[in-house]
Amino acid sequence: MEQEKNMNTSAENTNQKPARKRMLSGIQPSGDLHLGNYLGPLRHWPEMIEEYDCYFFMADLHTLTVRQEPAALRRRVLTQVAQYIACGLDPEKCTIFIQSHVPAHAQLGWVLDCYTMFGELSRMTQFKDKASKHKDNINAGLFTYPALMAADILLYQPDYVPVGEDQRQHVEICRDIAERFNGIYGPVFRVPEAYIAKVGARIMSLNDPGSKMSKSNLEGCVTLADKPEDIMRKFKRAITDSDTERCVRYAPAEKPGVSNLIQIYAAATGKSYEDIEKEFEGMGYGKFKPAVGEAVVELLRPIREETERLLADKSYLESVYRAGAEKASYFANKTLAKVYKKVGLVAR
């Protein structure tokens, strides 16, 4: 009987599902989410929630490094919650929350400020970029934001942080801070890996193909909330190329404007670059640009309509971000308590 019992126990252990690895990501609500956000990370997040234990948050504390209009910031945060869901993030399968609703972010951020070196912060490219654009407001938060970003990540002990190749520096400094802290106090933090997605387009500005699509350049940026007529107008005005060839051909070095539009059209329709070149052979840019605009209109239409529906249901949205903050706080506070104990703070 004892042998049979042991065999049954072994079978039960074998049948148990292994714990899913954890992944965390956040986007600043400093402007409306746009096509580049969607075709880059957002479109692929719903696939991740089936494989990983995912936490997605609105990084509203980070927006404060640049002056914000309060009512507009609140609107963008709620819109972003709705857009996350509209893009396919099921709140029953992942944790969606607002950064400022979990005080542990700011609390751990201060502790990690004290374990982050001045030289490390000075080398951050985002600080240099924002400082050059906001010379009248080079504040301490703008300089030390990587420590808060490290806190955002390390509170949840994630295995992976999905970032674009140009954001890898943020994960690297987070790893440096975590390893420094662990070196002093023992294994407090799990040191996360950057998750560089193999899929996802790097969408450039419609009126400046040399720069990424950005919230700061509204005419070159298509937002998830844009009306169809606005999307069409932006694509009809999109920069193509000044070559004499004037054919639809994917050649990023020679034809960055057209290549960007081809990439967008391919992502919106699922067609290959080769098929797109054949489809518009001999037509020129006048036919191609409206076709890309129409494809994007149809791609974003269900997201815009579902976002509008969700924003009208304020009680549901509130239930989502309240439940998300409650779950996030549970894990965050466990990590924070461990950190406080290690550095010698008296327990409350």
Active-site amino acid positions: 130, 212, 215
> Rounded to an integer, what distance in angstroms lies between the CA atom of residue 218 and that of residue 231?
11
Among 137, 146, 132, 142, smallest CA distance to 174 is for 146
- What is residue 159's DSSP assignment? S
Q: Give the ranges where the chain is alpha helix by DSSP (H).
A: 2-15, 35-39, 45-51, 70-86, 104-113, 118-122, 125-133, 140-154, 168-185, 228-236, 256-269, 273-279, 285-312, 314-343
Here the tokens at position 120 are: 């490390």
Among 176, 162, 174, smallest CA distance to 26 is for 162
Here the tokens at position 321 are: 């971000």
| Three-state DSSP class for residue 24 | strand
Burial class of residue 342 (count of CB atoms within 10 Å of its CB; 0-12, 13-18, 19+): middle
> Rounded to an integer, what distance in angstroms lies between the CA atom of residue 130 and that of residue 12?
55
